Amino acid sequence: MNTGIDVVQIQRFGAFYIAAARLRSMAKWKSIIAAVDIGNPLFYLIAVGVGIGVLVEQGSGTSGTSGIKYIAFIAPALLANSAIAAVMDETVFPTIEGFKWRKLFFAQNATPITGRQIALGVYLSALCRAIASVSIYYILLLAFDVVDFGPSVLLIPIAVLGGGAFGAVILFAAAIIENHDQFFNILGRLVIMPMFLFSGTFFPLSSMPIYLQPIGWVSPLWHATELGREAAFDYGVSTLMMTVHITFLSVLVMIGLFLSMRQFERRLAK
């Protein structure tokens, strides 16, 4: 009998063991991840900074964006969106892989590790990836002189919170679905794309007709973007709305994680 196994310790740290294993797998893809995390911001900064931004400012100056340079106006949204993309990559694929493709979760669950710890571990590792992606993006923003170093550093935790809120819900969704082909279609075309376009990313939410605005209200991207704009540029968001944004995102994290952990446990115990 192996007496070196301390179940209490595993109960405490199990999620971290899972996260560590996930990070090890991610490290195998480090060059691709780095290329995406550096290339993607570069494309946006060049296209919007040099292209669309000039066009917008020629048309209306900075009057539509509360006196902020257009590229700076959308920067918090781009950061939050990058966190969302990173978290999505690192929750959806590992979850489908874990339950269906390689059934790694079943191997992990054959040890003292529980389904709840697996869910939490996957989530934590996705947040790590988001922190890395957003930090790279932020450095590029500094390099392109889009933001000044200072309070704008808060954009990093805000973007990660936005990504985390979205990720907690998407983790739950990925743990429920059986037919993943349809899931990817629906997720990409009917969730990610509209969210990106209609969350006050490229123009203030208030400039959209009222019947389109609810898309923004339920979108973690809009809440994170508004928070980010206020943190970086004194955009004029009221304290009340700041509280609403933080509360909305935090509640999403908690509900998403609660449901995910329960779903992982149930699906593994079938």
Partner 1 sequence: MSKPLISVRGLTKVFGDFTAVDGIDFDVAKGESFGLLGPNGAGKSTTMRILAATSTRTSGTVEILDKDPEKFGPLVRAHLGVVPQQDNLDGELTVSENLYIYGRYFGLSKKFIKGKIEELLEFAQLEEKRDVKVEALSGGMKRRLTIARGLVSEPDILLLDEPTTGLDPQARHILWDRLFRLKEQGVTLVLTTHFMDEAEQLCDRLVVMDKGAIMAEGSPQGLIKEYSSKEVLEVRFGSDRNKEVAPQLTTMCERMEILPDRILMYTEDGEKLLEQIAAAKMHPTTSLVRRSSLEDVFLRLTGRTLIE
Binding region for partner 1 (CB under 8 A): 1-2, 4-7, 9-11, 13-14, 17-18, 20-21, 24-25, 28, 102-104, 106-114, 268-270
User: What is the DSSP code (8-state) at residue 208?
Assistant: S
- Least gap, CB of 10 to partner 1 (angstroms): 4
Please state, in angstroms and rounded to a whole number, the distance separating the CA atoms of residues 127 and 132. 9
Complex with partner 1: residue 9 or 66, whichever CB lies closer? 9
H helices, E strands: number in the chain: 12, 0
Measured from the CB atom, is 1 or 210 closer to partner 1?
1
Shortest distance in whole angstroms from residue 185 CB to partner 1: 25
Minimum distance, C-beta of residue 109 to partner 1, in the bound complex (Å)? 5
d(CA 118, CA 151) in angstroms, rounded, equals 35
- Nearest CA to 22 out of 136, 131, 127 is that of 127
What does the alpha-carbon distance between residue 48 and residue 45 come to, in Å, rounded to a whole number? 5
CB 15, min distance to partner 1, A: 11
Which is nearer to partner 1, 111 or 185 (by Cβ)? 111
CB of 24 to partner 1, least distance (A): 7
Nearer to partner 1, 23 or 52 (CB): 23
Rank residues 128 and 191 by Cβ distance to partner 1 and give the closer one. 128
Shortest distance, CB of residue 4 to partner 1, whole angstroms? 6
Contact 200, 223 (CB under 8 A): no
Contact residues for 167 (Cβ-Cβ < 8 A; gap 6+): 84, 87, 88, 90, 91, 123, 126, 127, 130, 256
How far CA 175 is from CA of 40, 63, 97, 127, 181, in Å, comes to 28, 45, 10, 17, 14
Helix axes 70-96, 115-143, angle to 10 degrees: 150
CA 224 distance to own-chain centroid: 10
| Euclidean distance between CA atoms 147 and 141, whole angstroms | 6
Cα gap 101→229, rounded to integer Å: 40
When the beta carbons of 18 and 253 are compared against partner 1, the nearer one is: 18
Minimal distance in Å, beta carbon 99 to partner 1? 11
Q: Using the minimum distance from each CB to partner 1, give the nearer residue, 107 or 193.
A: 107
Q: Which two tokens stand for residue 157?
A: 């935790």
